[in-house]
Structure 1
């Protein structure tokens, strides 16, 4: 890989500690220029909590070249444990930077995931917003994405950037299972970002984000997200010093395993 950054461990997950600008300029752009491969996971508290209960998913996240702190909960947790992270790096922002850079430099993008209407609209909006964007291909997330013919289609398209919007675990799992088939590419799971790009879902206004209330905005608009809020609450409780100490005593907090590279 390209530039190496200091990592900050949060619950056995090593987060890349850098800023958006440095990450893009010193890792992503050189990776594309040199036709290398890079697996990016953007992790929030819900994803980290999921790795505690799913060993396979934990191995997948740990195998990524970079795990970015997508979620103010990760930033706050790192600060509470005395190892602050430089900056929150939001996945949807990374996606937009990738699309802009691709359009400016002639790189191609493959869009995988979301419902058909949302996927199609996301590609249309991407082309409108980033003139000159080369779309290597697209597919909604309800096809058989493990079908050999489909995988071969993506591989033979030789995309420079592969955006996978299948939701937590599924998108990272698809990348894990197929990245070795490709000679190059920046691979990133983008969750519901196609819905945001297409206009199907609305991102929180900047003032909500500034005051760390993006979670509340989403909850108001999508009450079914209450389970995610509960998971985030559990995550933060584990980083309250007294609760963390009690957890260690009763064995709830697992010791940090060594990340395999």
Structure 2
């Protein structure tokens, strides 16, 4: 978490555009079938584990992701650091009024942080107005909460013209920061079961993502492990044959 905050704040002071993406099981599932999203993740500057499933999976395949850095948990320390460093922030996305409510909550948590907002219900022909507002604010750090993969498509199409130094895709973050949605109990979060809480809160929207998506993620992980072992056995066999010859 600390490394993610330090990295994003450091980039906020630099020229050019950097992109940070929170990755969870849902994003992995989408990327397996969406070449554009897969390429976006490959090209982004920072992919951090926004879901506990990604942490567990990384360890199973032999990588080392130290901890989950859920965007909901990342936002408060990130915005406190932004306040301390004079980094200007913009919240774009969500239903009308929600981003501003989220910004107001963050102003209480991170006094002095400079946040401007715009909701995400924008027609294509109105997008220039949003970009004008982002640039006029002098935005360094732009949160884009439009859901996957729409937010990645927005960053690809409009990120370079936003004037921001860092864009962070954040899904439904503003609903959680504003208090419109209540976080799960701490024991559920610690156990990696926050998805169950979210399913209870939004069953219609999230039923397919979790009840179908979670098993699909596990199956994809099992296939990856099986393929990896098959390749290892094949390479070992080839090596033995070569040695014997």
Q: Shorter-chain TM-score: what band?
A: 0.7 to 0.9
Partner of 1:228: 209
TM-score by length of structure 2 reads 0.84
Give the 3-state SS of the residue equivalent to 2:221 in structure 1.
coil
CA distance in 2, matches of 1:140, 1:179: 16
Asked if 1 retains the 8 angstrom alpha-carbon contact of 2:134 and 2:163, the reply is no
The answer to whether residue 128 in structure 2 is matched with residue 148 in structure 1 is yes
Structure 1 alignment gaps of length 5 or more: 1-19, 250-261
| Residue 178 to residue 201, structure 1, CA distance change in 2 (3 Å) | same
Asked if 2 retains the 8 angstrom alpha-carbon contact of 1:71 and 1:90, the reply is yes
More helix by share: 2
TM-superposed CA distance for 1:244, in Å, is 4.6
TM-superposed CA distance for 1:94, in Å, is 2.2
Q: Which of 10, 20, 44 is the matching residue for 1:64?
A: 44
| Residue 75 to residue 173, structure 1, CA distance change in 2 (3 Å) | same
CA distance in 2, matches of 1:192, 1:43: 13
The answer to whether residue 7 in structure 2 is matched with residue 23 in structure 1 is no
CA distance in 1, matches of 2:14, 2:199: 41
User: Which digits, 9 at most, give the CA deviation of each residue in 1:161-192, with x for residues without a partner?
Assistant: 10111111111111121222255422111111
TM-superposed CA distance for 1:246, in Å, is 7.2
Partner of 2:184: 204
The answer to whether residue 118 in structure 2 is matched with residue 139 in structure 1 is yes
Partner of 1:100: 80
Structure 2 alignment gaps of length 5 or more: 231-245
Partner of 2:156: 176
Q: Which of 33, 51, 55 is the matching residue for 2:31?
A: 51
The answer to whether residue 220 in structure 2 is matched with residue 238 in structure 1 is yes
TM-score by length of structure 1 reads 0.79
Q: Which of 110, 115, 119 is the matching residue for 2:99?
A: 119
Asked if 1 retains the 8 angstrom alpha-carbon contact of 2:19 and 2:167, the reply is yes
| Residue 111 to residue 184, structure 1, CA distance change in 2 (3 Å) | closer
Structure 1 residue runs of 4+, over 4 Å off? 246-249
CA distance in 2, matches of 1:21, 1:148: 35
Give the 3-state SS of the residue equivalent to 1:112 in structure 2.
strand
Give the 3-state SS of the residue equivalent to 1:204 in structure 2.
coil
The answer to whether residue 143 in structure 2 is matched with residue 193 in structure 1 is no
CA distance in 2, matches of 1:184, 1:148: 15
TM-superposed CA distance for 1:67, in Å, is 0.8
Compare 51-60 and 173-182 and name the one that shifted more.
173-182
Count of residue pairs the alignment pairs up: 227
CA distance in 1, matches of 2:163, 2:173: 25
Partner of 2:237: none
